[in-house]
Amino acid sequence: MRKVIIIGSGPAGYAASIYTARAELKPLILTGTQPGGQLTQTTEVENFPAFPEGILGPELMERMRQQATKFGAEMVFEEATGLKVEEDKVGVLVGEKEYEAEAVIIATGAKPRMLKIGEERLIGRGVSMCAVCDAAFFRDKKVFVVGGGDAAIEDAMALSKFTNKVNLLVRRDVLRASKAMQRRVFNNQDKVKIWWKTEVKAVKGENKLEGLVLRVDGKEQEVEADGLFLAIGHLPATEWLQGSGIELDDKGYIKTNLTSGESDWLKGYPLMTSQERVFAAGDVVDFRYQQAITAAGLGVMAALDVERYLESSKN
């Protein structure tokens, strides 16, 4: 029986593991199949405090991991497949195996949203959700990025290092990215062409991506394409919680006492879910801010809630 199990290893999971480890709760972290979370797929992170020169996403997460293990956190590279909440413990299922703990923190984050126009069959064959990972494979190719937020601009700038022209497809007539990211793309319009009021209606190609059917300002047209990069948001990684009793909102994010209005900062356990002993933090809870620093902050809050809860239960 563990004191606490943390499910997920992004900023929220690692921050929670640092705090619970320092509290001598000896946390077990199930890192999932992508240790470090989404930040391992980014390049330079410029807005995380204490790094005025910026830091690479994978390096930031590696430092967090090292800090957690320094204080005694144990990590296993496994992915939770279910949760079984009982009166005196929580069982975390990994296939046929089960880990038990007095409390659990869910920090499984989110996953990329798909267009659902058949592009799934071409993932890895011209369709990608990670320009930072795959940009080098598209040197001097004709590439398109879908999205108008920070992630889309990040992808476009990463691709611009390998090809002469990146096509940024924006559904609206404005970008929703931060002002700093907008400046980056507007200052590089020799490398990035913005297609306003544009949607992808279909993908062309059998064994690999060969083209796209676009609707541009209401009119359809076909274009040749070697690469399509999706940056249209994320969905919370909560499918595995089916049947667990954990309450989700209408978008699939985990409800906590704080987000459901059942608690305030000074009372109870704000990051506890609808099930006692189960807490949640990071992008799996937060659909509004979705920043590395806010995820880390929520991870710390969940860890402090768990520490207080276990101490109260003991007394």
Q: Is the pLDDT of residue 266 over 70?
A: no
Residue 88 a catalytic site member: no
Which residue, 228, 242, 315, 247, is CA-closest to 285? 247
Residues 123 and 205 in one domain: yes
Q: Structurally, how many domains does the chain consist of?
A: 2
Catalytic residue among 88, 133, 190, 250: 133
Residue 130 a catalytic site member: yes
**Which residue, of 212, 230, 248, is where some domain finishes?**
230
Residues 92 and 153 in one domain: no
Residues 88 and 221 in one domain: no
- Specify the pLDDT at position 26: 96
Catalytic residue among 88, 130, 150, 190: 130
pTM over 0.75, yes/no: yes
Residues 30 and 65 in one domain: yes
Asked whether 83 and 104 are in contact (CB, 8 A), the reply is: yes
- The Cα 241–Cα 104 span in angstroms is 13
Residues 220 and 129 in one domain: yes
Domain containing 90 — which CATH number? 3.50.50.60
Residues 44 and 106 in one domain: yes
Catalytic residue among 88, 134, 190, 217: 134
Asked whether 168 and 152 are in contact (CB, 8 A), the reply is: yes
- Specify the pLDDT at position 263: 67
- Specify the pLDDT at position 142: 97
Residues 62 and 201 in one domain: no
- State the DSSP code for 138: G
- The Cα 47–Cα 69 span in angstroms is 25
Q: How confident is the model at residue 262 (pLDDT cuts 50, 70, 90)?
A: confident
**Which residue, of 206, 230, 254, is where some domain finishes?**
230
Residues 128 and 64 in one domain: no
Q: pLDDT per residue over 229-246, tens digit each? A: 999 988 999 999 999 999
Q: How confident is the model at residue 258 (pLDDT cuts 50, 70, 90)?
A: confident
**Which residue, of 165, 197, 230, is where some domain finishes?**
230
Q: Can you give the residue range of the structural domain that contains 199?
A: 119-230
The structure tokens listed for 103 are 């409390």
Residues 40 and 94 in one domain: yes
Query: Rg for the chain (alpha carbons), in Å?
Result: 21
Residue 190 a catalytic site member: no
Q: pLDDT per residue over 93-127, tens digit each? A: 999 999 999 999 999 998 888 999 999 999 889 99
- Specify the pLDDT at position 45: 83
- Write down the residue that tokens 């979370």 correspond to: 37
- Specify the pLDDT at position 265: 65
Tell me the CA end-to-end span of the chain in Å, nearest whole number. 19
Residues 137 and 189 in one domain: yes
C-alpha torsion angle, residues 262, 284, 117, 203 (rounded to 10) = 150
